[in-house]
Chain A
Amino acid sequence: MNIAPPIHFLHWRSRIYGILGLFILLIVVALLAVAVGSVNIPFSTTSSILICKLPLVKMTPTWTSALETIILEIRLPRVIMAGLVGAALATAGATYQGLFRNPLADPYLIGVAQGAALGAVIGFLLPSSWHSVGFGIIPLLAFCGALASTAIVYSLARVGKTLPVTILILAGVALGALLGSIVSYLIISSGERIHSIMFWLMGSFSLSQWSEVTVILPYMFLGMFIILLYARPLNLMQLDEEQAQQLGINVERLKLVLLSAATLITAAAVSFVGIIGFVGIIIPHAVRLIWGADHRFLLPLSILTGAVFLILADLIARTALAPTEIPVGVITALCGAPFFLYLLRRKRKVIF
């Protein structure tokens, strides 16, 4: 892998502005996404409902409780969920790409998606009495499946005390194919459940609720926090594993920590909303094309861009054909791919 170390001497200022601008954009987009939906609610009502919930604000409601339910219990948790998942997938993608020094790496490269899919499909096929366990058996099994498949790939790829990246990727692809074929078989034999399963596999936020947000939030924060801490070592990893080692980085430990953290947030993300493609691979690239490859900025910028992107994608998914909904994965691919190609054409330089 002879990818040149990325040294884009961009002004720090443009990146700081980028972070600030994206932060403001995130808030604007989130507000927009809460305000718009299949039911028409005036923006003034939406903002009043939201402001009313702020501490120290006293207001007499002039709206019906149905509107309040729609804004606070349906759209708000959904928007937050989309933001969190977008941030997680983009961060995980940036981490995998940096760690493997491979532009094709995405959060699903080493079997997370197929593991989660297998877990979820098994959940769908279990008798209904199983389905009333806590948050439901499907997220739980998807989460376990994602973690288990990554653990298997990791242990398969280990050579002594080292973890050669190429073997890791190959093991991931192979196990992914194996699990994928089992999933395909189960889908074919799933009978009437097939619709729900296909729908889950394409990803959706349609039933996101606060309880789900609170469950995944700790994993998200923990994982992203750890990854952000390792931004500088990730930069050094771009040189070469040996050089990084010589510069005093415990490369193997770095791999283990970052793989675990990235897998954790990806697993948490997919377990509730299904497998949403394109975010994890495209957002880090887009950020890199615009602001350069310094992980100290790439990671936080990816978090923000991923959140903005997925909130927007979900907004389109639920409003384009309202009141019916399109699977969000369709939108991410449909909007993400052309935008990415445009960026690629515009800046035909070395990305990595």
Chain B
Amino acid sequence: MKRKRYKLGISYLASVILMSLLGACTPTPAEEPALPVESATFPIETTDQADRVVRVEKMPEKIISLAPSNTEILYALGLEDRLVGVTEYCNYPEAAKEKPQIGGFSTVDIEKVVEIEPDLILATNIHKDEIVPQLERLGLTVLTIDPKTVDEVLEAINLIGQFTGKAEEASQLTAEMEKQIKAVTDKTAALTEAQKPRVFYILWHDPLMTVGSETRIHELIEKAGGINIAQGLPDEYPRISLEAVIMANPQVIIAGSGHGTGQDAPFHFALTEPRLAEVEARQNGLIYEIDSDLTSRPGLRIVDGLEKLAEFIHPELFKESQ
């Protein structure tokens, strides 16, 4: 508990610093959702995760999701009847594929969106700069979901809950998620540094890309009791040279799969690249594949991703639980 408060303090401090750096004069964002769930009354006005003040007058009846993660959250909140537009990448749950599509991820068909006349649009960070302002100019209400950390994923779920009249359901879901996360971190928190294996997460193999310290996947690896060999690299998703990987000698390699047409190409690479033959992970056969939708999407299944990673990184602690 103490740990948690410390963390919240840090993120609060960080957001305050960020705000002052940006010279924003809006009041401190209510990022920590007001926990009394009765606040599900309309109108509602709150700062979203792109630090924009969003106001919704009445309960939104038509909702459009511009990202697969948002779609997953909406389904989890039982809002599928009010969800009237998704992207062509929204593949979970299965039923989402049947919804009317309003374009790709970054390529939103604005005309289609306008035609639907949604009461609420759930965007993400990639829409922040161009699509969101454009939609707002057209008089539409956009809520930007941009969670940088796992905690912020939970906040995002609560935020969506608040704006859709499902605050109570949202807080139940996130409480459950918190419990699952805690079940993992309780076990890994006791590990010494020496007990934590070096983990190489392959985002993509050509070019060879991994995850830097600023990503949620890095955070998941740490929570799962591993040490990301790419921590300290500058970018979010940095390229890494093969020789740096060989020198880091990862003990576990985890390849994300499911990206586009490549499917399991990164996993195949990890298994067969001859120059990785000597690294410990290959020697001990500790190479795993994970559905990258679980790790990279800021939705509810991020908890499943965490549990899978924990199982890969510390089978001795987590295997029997599965």
Whether A290 sits at the interface, judged by CB under 8 Å, is no
The answer to whether A206 and B208 touch (CB under 8 A), given A131-B265, A191-B105, A193-B260, is yes
A207 contacts B206, C-beta separation under 8 Å: yes
B243 contacts A37, C-beta separation under 8 Å: yes
Residue in contact with B260 in the complex, picked from A38, A74, A192, A209, CB distance below 8 Å: A192
* Chain A residues in 8 Å Cβ range of B259: 192-193
Which positions 181-209 of chain B face chain A at CB distance < 8 Å? 204, 206-209
Whether A55 sits at the interface, judged by CB under 8 Å, is no
B235, B243, B278 interface centre (most CB from chain A within 10 Å): B243
Residue in contact with B278 in the complex, picked from A38, A69, A204, A209, CB distance below 8 Å: A69
For B205, give the chain A residue with the smallest CB separation.
A207
A73 contacts B241, C-beta separation under 8 Å: no
* Chain A residues in 8 Å Cβ range of B262: 128, 131, 193, 196
Expressed in whole angstroms, the minimum distance between the Cβ of B102 and any Cβ of chain A is 15
For A211, give the chain B residue with the smallest CB separation.
B274
Whether B100 sits at the interface, judged by CB under 8 Å, is no
How distant is the Cα of A125 from the Cα of B241 in the complex, in angstroms?
25
How distant is the Cα of A327 from the Cα of B244 in the complex, in angstroms?
17
How distant is the Cα of A254 from the Cα of B209 in the complex, in angstroms?
46
The answer to whether A207 and B242 touch (CB under 8 A), given A196-B204, A324-B233, A324-B235, is yes
Q: How many A-B residue pairs have CB under 8 A?
A: 94
Count of chain A residues with Cβ under 8 Å from any Cβ of B?
35
* Chain B residues in 8 Å Cβ range of A70: 243, 246-247
* Chain A residues in 8 Å Cβ range of B241: 37-38, 74, 206, 318, 322-325
A39 contacts B208, C-beta separation under 8 Å: no
Whether B240 sits at the interface, judged by CB under 8 Å, is yes
Whether B169 sits at the interface, judged by CB under 8 Å, is no
A204 contacts B207, C-beta separation under 8 Å: yes
The answer to whether A74 and B261 touch (CB under 8 A), given A196-B204, A324-B233, is no
For B237, give the chain A residue with the smallest CB separation.
A195
Expressed in whole angstroms, the minimum distance between the Cβ of A239 and any Cβ of chain B is 47
Whether A7 sits at the interface, judged by CB under 8 Å, is no
Which positions 108-142 of chain A face chain B at CB distance < 8 Å? 124-128, 131-132
Interface string of A317-345 (1 = CB under 8 A from B): 01001111100000000000000000000
Interface string of B243-287 (1 = CB under 8 A from A): 110110100000000011111110010000011011100000000
Interface string of B5-47 (1 = CB under 8 A from A): 0000000000000000000000000000000000000000000
Expressed in whole angstroms, the minimum distance between the Cβ of A340 and any Cβ of chain B is 28
Which positions 264-318 of chain B face chain A at CB distance < 8 Å? 264-265, 268, 274-275, 277-279
How distant is the Cα of A227 from the Cα of B274 in the complex, in angstroms?
36
Whether B93 sits at the interface, judged by CB under 8 Å, is no
B239 contacts A206, C-beta separation under 8 Å: yes
A39, A190, A321 interface centre (most CB from chain B within 10 Å): A39
Whether B238 sits at the interface, judged by CB under 8 Å, is yes
B274 contacts A73, C-beta separation under 8 Å: yes
Whether B234 sits at the interface, judged by CB under 8 Å, is yes
B261 contacts A127, C-beta separation under 8 Å: yes
A75 contacts B204, C-beta separation under 8 Å: no
Which positions 180-217 of chain A face chain B at CB distance < 8 Å? 188, 190-193, 195-196, 199, 204, 206-207, 209
Whether A57 sits at the interface, judged by CB under 8 Å, is no
B207 contacts A74, C-beta separation under 8 Å: no
Expressed in whole angstroms, the minimum distance between the Cβ of A76 and any Cβ of chain B is 11
Residue in contact with A66 in the complex, picked from B238, B249, B261, CB distance below 8 Å: B249
A324 contacts B240, C-beta separation under 8 Å: yes
How distant is the Cα of A65 from the Cα of B264 in the complex, in angstroms?
28
The answer to whether A323 and B104 touch (CB under 8 A), given A207-B208, A209-B275, is no
Interface string of A230-254 (1 = CB under 8 A from B): 0000000000000000000000000
Residue in contact with A323 in the complex, picked from B89, B204, B244, B264, CB distance below 8 Å: B244
* Chain B residues in 8 Å Cβ range of A65: 278
Expressed in whole angstroms, the minimum distance between the Cβ of B297 and any Cβ of chain A is 13
A75, A192, A206 interface centre (most CB from chain B within 10 Å): A192
For A77, give the chain B residue with the smallest CB separation.
B275
Expressed in whole angstroms, the minimum distance between the Cβ of A223 and any Cβ of chain B is 26
Residue in contact with B233 in the complex, picked from A37, A124, A131, A323, CB distance below 8 Å: A323
Expressed in whole angstroms, the minimum distance between the Cβ of B313 and any Cβ of chain A is 22
* Chain B residues in 8 Å Cβ range of A190: 260
A196 contacts B246, C-beta separation under 8 Å: no
* Chain B residues in 8 Å Cβ range of A126: 261
Which positions 205-248 of chain B face chain A at CB distance < 8 Å? 206-209, 233-235, 238-244, 246-247
* Chain B residues in 8 Å Cβ range of A131: 262, 265
B239 contacts A325, C-beta separation under 8 Å: yes
A38 contacts B244, C-beta separation under 8 Å: yes
Expressed in whole angstroms, the minimum distance between the Cβ of B231 and any Cβ of chain A is 12
How distant is the Cα of A188 from the Cα of B233 in the complex, in angstroms?
29
Expressed in whole angstroms, the minimum distance between the Cβ of A276 and any Cβ of chain B is 15
How distant is the Cα of A126 from the Cα of B241 in the complex, in angstroms?
26
Write the residues of chain B forming the contact surface with A, with a CB cutoff of 8 angstroms.
89, 104-105, 107, 204, 206-209, 233-235, 238-244, 246-247, 249, 259-265, 268, 274-275, 277-279
Closest 9 A/B residue pairs (Cβ) = A192-B260, A323-B244, A128-B263, A70-B243, A39-B247, A324-B238, A193-B260, A73-B275, A38-B241
6 pairs, CB–CB < 8 Å, chain A vs chain B: A39-B243, A131-B262, A191-B260, A204-B207, A324-B238, A324-B239
